[in-house]
Amino acid sequence: MDSAESPAGFALTVCADSAEACERAASLILEQRLGAAAPLPLGLATGRTMEPLYRALAVQVAALPPLRRQAVLAGWESFNLDEYLGLPADDPRSFAAFMGRHLVAPLQLDPARVRLPNGTAADPQLEARQYGQTLRACGGIGLQILGLGLNGHVGFNEPPCAADARCRVVDLSSSTRLQNAEAFGGDPAAVPARAISLGLAEILAAERILLVVTGAAKAQVLARLLHQPPSPQLPASWLKQHPAVTVLADQAALDARG
């Protein structure tokens, strides 16, 4: 990546593999949680990229001295990016259930401190507005962790997406429903058609952003991201307008032939 293609605040860190990217991300999360007396909430993501990241985080938390471990757990406050519409939190395919399995249970967190939009709210538009308001009332995001969709989405901000889009109800593209079909018995039609997602506005308001991109399947979209200027067609490209973004990418994702 040369500086003509990417602004100074958008830094690429090359990692050997997903394990190294996840170790680094987990360390940065702990640095953020322990770096201030009252850190702003974390912004969290779901998806396959995040599974080894949350495992690495659990290992690093377990290795902390007791008082520091207690500080991380007692002071926990996080907001997930998104949730499918129509799935209750106890449906194993919901993002709430994903967070329960991969973060709340391993870290023994208070589930009330790991927030997600309510996918079964009677009025989803109102739920989306209120979720965005609750986040603002908590001061916004301190460190935002992001994965990257194959079509360039972050959260569920599907292309085309403006940089000032706020938390809202979104329609999922057929490519995203296909990408996420694994959790729905391999059937893209079984993947909910709509979701609530934080927008680029809330994401870009974070103090710092970590985008984790691993695996050969992401090579094409990562190459587009590294080389293209910001545009609605590639929602993740708006991150180039943020002053403090780190892209943690593994070799497989950087191989443009992938």
Residues serving a catalytic function are 82, 151, 153, 158
- For ligand GLP, the binding residue among 39, 155, 199, 235 (CB under 6 A) is 155
Phi, then psi, of 111 in degrees rounded to 5: -55, -25
Q: Which residues pair with 43 in a beta bridge?
A: 79, 144
For residue 156, state whether it binds ligand GLP (rule: CB under 6 A).
yes
Indicate the residue whose CB is closest to ligand GLP.
147
Tell me how far, at minimum, the Cβ of 44 lies from ligand GLP, in Å: 9
Q: Which helix (H) or strand (E) is 208 found in, with range? A: strand 208-213
Alpha-carbon 168 to chain mean position: 16
For residue 47, state whether it binds ligand GLP (rule: CB under 6 A).
yes
DSSP 229-247: PPBTTBGGGGGGGSSSEEE
Residue 230, burial from CB neighbour count under 10 angstroms (0-12, 13-18, 19+) = middle
Of 148 and 247, nearer to ligand GLP (C-beta) is 148
For residue 245, state whether it binds ligand GLP (rule: CB under 6 A).
no
Q: Are 214 and 21 in contact (CB under 8 A)?
A: yes
Of 215 and 230, nearer to ligand GLP (C-beta) is 215
Q: Which two tokens stand for residue 71?
A: 């500080």
For residue 176, state whether it binds ligand GLP (rule: CB under 6 A).
yes
Rounded to 10 deg, the angle between the 66-74 and 18-34 helix axes is 80
Q: Which amino acid is at 156?
A: F
Of 50 and 72, nearer to ligand GLP (C-beta) is 50
For residue 81, state whether it binds ligand GLP (rule: CB under 6 A).
yes
3-class SS of residue 209:
strand
- For ligand GLP, the binding residue among 29, 45, 103, 198 (CB under 6 A) is 45
For residue 48, state whether it binds ligand GLP (rule: CB under 6 A).
yes
Q: Which two tokens stand for residue 45?
A: 């993501």
For residue 82, state whether it binds ligand GLP (rule: CB under 6 A).
yes
Tell me how far, at minimum, the Cβ of 100 lies from ligand GLP, in Å: 16
Q: In this chain, which stretch among 23-31, 60-68, 148-156, 249-257 interacts with ligand GLP, using CB under 6 A? A: 148-156
| Contact residues for ligand GLP, defined by CB under 6 A | 45-49, 81-82, 147-149, 155-156, 176, 180
